[in-house]
Chain A
Amino acid sequence: MKLDLTPILESKRAFRRRAAARPIAEKLRMLDALRERTLAIRRASNSGPAKKPVVRETRPDLRATDH
């Protein structure tokens, strides 16, 4: 089976053309919204649980302590 991407790519191009042709005030409001969204994603990805480091930078203490 072969997937023809041509109509998908053409539809994307048409969407971009329509977005570019919008009134400038509307496009600037879109920039405001895009920035809010980018910052929200950034905040969400920074607020997750701290990941356990995969690489240990110091050697574990292997000395026995209970004798």
Chain B
Amino acid sequence: MGIKEVIEMINRMEAAGVIERYAIGGAVGATFYLEPVATLDVDIFVEFHTEPDSQMLSPEPIFRYLRDCGCAMEGEHVVIAGWPVQFLPAGSALVQEALTKAVEKDVEGTPARVFTAEHVAAIALETGRAKDKARVLQFIEADAIDLQRLQEILTRHGLAGAWKQFERQFLK
């Protein structure tokens, strides 16, 4: 049991049309570019379908599919292969862009769609908790992002001020 099995399950959900497009973000997404850092859950960003009788976007088809596969619910998480997995909507323009531009990586023969390093960093900066700022610093220290590209993303999404503040706090 492990994250690879989680990715296989998400791929099956995409193939079955339960979700349209997904991308891995958060600490697990960052691990595709950096050294692994302990995390307790997996963040999967998805486009939610609308329910047939409603205009509201709903995660219910996802939960229904996973319940039928024998997965347990744990608060806002679904436990897949022992990992609590959180399905998050692409709720902002930045996350929507991250989902569109996500890249495919190969995990020992299993395809995995992941946010680009610059988008993981931009979303971390937008989220803004201490651990998110630490993640941005990790990307910079490891030289794992294209800073020019990151700044373009931040400017496009109104985060230039947050970047300036981050620079003042940690880089000068």
Contacts and interface: CB of A to CB of B under 8 A. Distances in A.
Interface of A: 13, 16-17, 19-20, 23-25, 27-32, 34-35, 37-39
B32 A24 contact: yes
B116 to A, nearest CB: 15
Nearest to A29: B2
Contact of A30 (B36, B107, B142): B36
Contacts of B144: 20
Which secondary structure characterizes the binding site on chain B? loop
A31 B28 contact: yes
Contact of B38 (A25, A27, A34): A34
23 contacts: A16-B35, A16-B142, A17-B35, A17-B142, A19-B35, A20-B34, A20-B142, A23-B108, A24-B32, A27-B31, A27-B35, A28-B2, A28-B3, A28-B28, A28-B31, A28-B36, A28-B107, A30-B36, A34-B37, A35-B38, A35-B39, A37-B38, A38-B40
A25 B34 contact: no
Contact of A31 (B36, B105, B112, B142): B36
B136 to A, nearest CB: 15
A20 B33 contact: yes
A37 B31 CA distance: 17
Contacts of B1: 32
A24 B105 contact: yes
Contacts of B27: 31
Contacts of A16: 35, 142
